[in-house]
Structure formats: structure tokens, C-alpha cells
Amino acid sequence: MAEELNPFRISQRQLDTAAELMGLDKQAHALLREPERAVIVNIPVRMRDGKTKAFTGFRVLYNSARGPGKGGVRFHPQESLDTVKALSAWMTWKCSLANIPFGGAKGGVICNPKEMNSAELENLSRGYVRALSRFIGPKVDVPAPDVYTNPQIMAWMLDEYETIEGRSSPEAFTGKPVEIGGSEGRFDSTAMGGMYVLRETAKIKKLNLKKAKIAIQGFGNAGKFAFEIATRLAGARVVAISDSQGGVYDPKGLDYGKLSEAKERTGSLEGYKGAEKVTNEELLELDCDVLIPAAIENQITKENADRVRAKIVLELANGPVTPDADRILFERGIADMPDFLVNSGGVIGSYFEWAQDLQGYYWTEGGVYQKLDAIITDSFNTVIKTQAEYRTKGKRITPREAAYVIAVGRVAMAMKARGRY
């Protein structure tokens, strides 16, 4: 029987496993299996040919027990409600595990931004906010950039929101340009947080990162910054990296500058000279010490998990490892560090931006990194401690299961305190 790859069903299955492990109250479990609110909107956009095109948009608030919703907005041709629901669930657990005062949310629009010019993207961004203005805000639900969105799109969205509200409200969106209330260190906070988790995991696995070989699937913002930070700060060697079209492999190590030049010149990393071409599937099975899935979900499944050769899998993408694969990697002794721990640096950075905007006082880049390190390292240590506690009870649980037990427990306690069950 084929493994279930629907992202929302996967998120529910992960929750169910944690609920059983921790003996979660059945009422809380039932409430947490579905989002609080899912909104579907129709966004009319005037295109360059003068015709109006309708785009379908989504915004899901999964749980607000611990605070206002928090989560990005994706512009993607394959966006779906189930994907957004799953991502909003994972955002709920991510914020809870980091112990920051947010619930989980996510948004998206079905579109192909690569085929749209700047004016069309601006019209779509403003239309998204107009359609959802009743459901977002600094104390309700705070959007941020995600796949194929960026600080410029957040700037347009913020401007539209402030026009509707008739007041300045920089705390309503995060991931903005620094010039209008964005935070120093926010743009690379996802990858930076992931590198802090890698540092701590390497200590446990007794892996010298200066001698480590790293393979990265994905050359978006997360993958690019992971490459740059891993080589500059950790002294590691990136031997393989890919984009949506394919990748390159060189056991001697790849050059970031040449990769960027090849991507800009040819539109693909395969334009990089002096390296072997590999597919995205082949990259996952390369001989390396650290594998960083930084692209899309469901990349490591029960079909290929037994062929992964890395000592550490660092999930920088959302949902790159399925539940069946997670257990296979664990039984093989591979440290698969879960997405909502590894990539929580992004939402922690957004939390810092939101807090700075609320108080009108801004921190330096170094101050942001220091605070990020403290929070994500504490989350890592709590996960390892929870695993150890379950071992004393005779249960071997994965890092993901431990993270779920912590995160779900905190949300359930907040719901209980509010009298929701």
C-alpha cells in the first residue's frame, strides 16, 4: 500500500502519534486535529493585457490558544488548502516548541509568480490583503514571507493593510524591509537557526563539522544561506546542492560564488562547471555526513529512507520526511532533526521583529543572532531531555515525537486554561 503523502493527513498522523504517547485528553486531541478557521478568497487582479484574472487565496488559523496566528504566505502554482492547513498546523507546533507567544497560521495563493511582472504581483499582494483584512492584524494573525514571496511583497501588503486601517501598524507583518520596520538578521534567521541545531546535533553525534561533507537539496533562500553559513561559520564542505531542475556534486567541495553565477547565467545550477550532475533524488542518497532537505515536502519516504547515507538529516524545509521514513531513519541510527525545530529560526526572527515594532526599539544583527541562539538551543536541549525521559519509561521515541510531545502539551495546557475543553 502506498504511503499517504497528503500533507494535512501527515500532520494529523504525527499529532495522533504524539497524543497516544503523552496520553492527551481526547477532547483536546479532537480540537487539535482541525484548524480553528480556514478562509478561501477570490482575488481579482488586472493583468498586463488589460483583462482581469481571478486568483484563489487561502488563510488558515490553526490555533490561537497561545497567541495571535503566525505564518507565511506562499505564491505557488500547486498551492492547495490541504497544504496550507498542514503548514498552519506545523506552525502551531513550531511556535509552541520555541515557546514564543504565537499560535500557528499559514496562507497561500494559487499562481505562478515567475510568469507575473512586478505590477501584477503588487496588485495580487494588495488584493490578498483587501480580501483578508478582517482576519489578519498584529493581535490576530501576522503574515510573513514564504515560498516565492519576499520583503517587497510584505511591504506592499503592509502598505495596503495600513491604508485600510488608516494608521501605522508595522507589527502587522514581518519579514519586511528594514527601512519600514523589518529586523536586522531576519532574512537569514531560518538558516542560521538550522545551523545552531546542526552544531548541537554534531556534538551528540561526535561529528567534526570542519571535516563534514554536506549535501543540500534546494537553492532558495534557506538553501543558499545554509550553504553560506555552513562554510563560513562551521568550516564545513558542501559537496552537493540542487534546485528544482537538478543539482551538482563534487566531493572536493563546491564554490558558492560560481554556483550563484551559474544560476544567474543559465537559470540552473547544472550550468556549474567541473562537477558531476545529479538529480534531486540522487542527491538524497549521496555519501555525506549531513543531508539538508531545504526544498519541498515528502522528499524522504519509506521508499528511499533505507538508502540515505548521512549521519544527520537536518530538515530545513517543511515536511521533507514522512512519518514512515522518520521511523526508518531513527532505527538506522540517523539523527533526523525535525522541521519545526530546525527551521524555527524564521518564526523566532519574526517574533523578534514583531516585538521590536510593538515597542519601537530595534536590536543589532548580533543581538538578534544571540537571542536566536539562546531560544533554539534551549528548544533542542528540551527535545533531547524529553527523549531521555521516555527512555527511562522503556520507550524509544524519535526527536520529532519528543518535539511533538512538548509542543502539543503546551498548546493543550493553554486551551485548558482558557476553558476550551
Active site residues: 106
Q: Which amino acid type is present at position 129? A: V
Name which of 77, 139, 151 is nearest 110 in CA terms.
Answer: 77
d(CA 42, CA 384): 45
Name which of 339, 284, 280, 276 is nearest 308 in CA terms.
Answer: 284
Name which of 193, 194, 11 is nearest 90 in CA terms.
Answer: 11
The alpha helices in 233-279, defined as continuous H runs, are: 256-266
- Cβ(27)–Cβ(48) below 8 Å: no
Binning the chain into helix, strand and coil, the percentages to the nearest 5 are 50, 20, 30
**Residues 6+ positions from 65 with CB-CB distance below 8 Å:** 103, 411, 414, 415, 418, 420
Query: 84: part of which helix (H) or strand (E)?
Result: helix 81-98
Three-state SS at 20: helix
- Cβ(79)–Cβ(110) below 8 Å: yes
d(CA 77, CA 294): 19
Q: Cα dist. 284→10, 219, 275, 278 in Å?
A: 21, 14, 17, 10
Give the three cell numbers for residue 370.
Answer: 544571540
d(CA 299, CA 305): 9
- Cβ(79)–Cβ(58) below 8 Å: yes
d(CA 154, CA 144): 7
Map grid coordinates 522503556 to a residue. Answer: 394
CA 401, distance to chain mean position in Å, is 18
Beta bridge partners of 319: none
